[in-house]
Structure 1
Amino acid sequence: MSAPTHPRTHPSAAGRAETRLPWWALLLPAVAFAALLLLILNPADAQAPAGDPTLAHLAERLKELVLG
């Protein structure tokens, strides 16, 4: 005995998943990424203690790579 089948009521949705995100779901990660990138690219504004210059050199190299 087979189970009865029901026709789909929305043929446009067949075969693909539809996902709708609110506008802030894309904006918030982009803003956070930009803020962190600006903090990394401008290490002179950071209030880090003077000590190991390795991180400063790394940040300077990243800045050179990103800005060209």
Structure 2
Amino acid sequence: MSAPSHIRPPQTTRGGVEIRLPWWALALPVLAFVALLLLILNPVDAHAAATGEQPALAQFLEWVQQLLAR
């Protein structure tokens, strides 16, 4: 005769599945995004490629930078 096994059912949340991520699983993509964003906002040789008009993306990023500097 085998003994009954006491298996706890998995703990669930509203969605039915509990997912736990380590802190670095979110920190590393955020750090990479911020680093790439800083490279876009502060290019070293941007004056060499500059024409008379700034592209729309550059104007938008400059506006965001000024907004954050306030």
TM-score by length of 2: 0.53
Which ranges in structure 1 are unaligned for 5 or more consecutive residues?
A: 1-7
Equivalent of 2:60 in 58, 61, 68: 58
Measured in 1, the distance between the counterparts of 2:52 and 2:7 equals 65
How much has 1:50 moved relative to structure 2? 1.8
Measured in 1, the distance between the counterparts of 2:67 and 2:40 equals 12
What does 1:5-20 align with in structure 2 at a 5 Å threshold? 9-10=7-8, 13=11, 15-16=12-13, 17-20=17-20
Measured in 2, the distance between the counterparts of 1:52 and 1:10 equals 68
Structure richer in helix, relative to its length? 1
TM-score by length of 1: 0.54
Which ranges in structure 2 are unaligned for 5 or more consecutive residues?
A: 1-5
- Calculate percent identity across the aligned residue pairs: 46
Measured in 2, the distance between the counterparts of 1:53 and 1:59 equals 15
Moved over 4 A (4+): none
Aligned residues: 59
Q: CA offsets, 1:15-48, max 9 Å, x none?
A: 41221213331121111121122123324x2546
